[in-house]
Structure 1
């Protein structure tokens, strides 16, 4: 099961790095479509800055997940990754309640499945 946990963790990390790229470097038209926001809003300088800041958070979550896989082992690794996955689930729940309902299914579910695999098979 350790391989399954590792693969799922890498997929969640890559998803967050992809979200980061879209939030920081994405074209406004693409951002508006993906995030369900009006194009005129996404084109505003303050919205661009807010998206980029949000992108940094997503990127750091992705890098932290990958870093924990690489730098830690055993129970310390599992605890650190479980905490990060729990953060993602909570943020996705909040985002689906306040911004766009699909956020939980797209971001929260992969993290929740990975967390459940960890809790059921690894801890």
Structure 2
């Protein structure tokens, strides 16, 4: 079950890398649809700058999760993964209140499932 747990966590990391790609390099119509924003707003320079900036953070989060899986083991990795998955859940809840409810399901639910697996199955 530990391998399945790490696989689920890696999927969360890959999801954040994909979100970063969309935020940084996606076409405005794709971004508007994905983030429930008006297309006219998303096309503005300010919105594109904000999305790119947010993309850097999501990309870094994805890379950090993958690096943690590669460089740490045992109880150290378990603590790091609990903290990182908890952080993603908190951010998803905040995003659900401030941006779109989809964030709770798209980002929060996979992190919650991964967190449960880390707590129960990772030794």
Which category of TM-score, normalised to the shorter sequence, fits these structures? over 0.9
Query: Retained in 1: the 8 A contact 2:17–2:58?
Result: yes
1:38 aligned partner: 38
Shift of 1:122: 2.1
Structure 1 runs of 4+ with >6 Å offset: none
Query: Where does the alignment leave 5 or more consecutive residues of structure 2 unmatched?
Result: none
1-structure distance, mates of 2:35, 2:108: 15
Shift of 1:97: 1.0
Higher-RCO chain (CA-CA 8 Å, sequence separation at least 6): 2
2-structure distance, mates of 1:122, 1:63: 21
Q: Please provide the CA RMSD for this pair.
A: 0.8
Query: Where does the alignment leave 5 or more consecutive residues of structure 1 unmatched?
Result: none
Query: 1:1-123, aligned counterparts within 5 Å?
Result: 1-123=1-123
Equivalences, count: 123
2-structure distance, mates of 1:76, 1:16: 22
1-structure distance, mates of 2:29, 2:82: 35
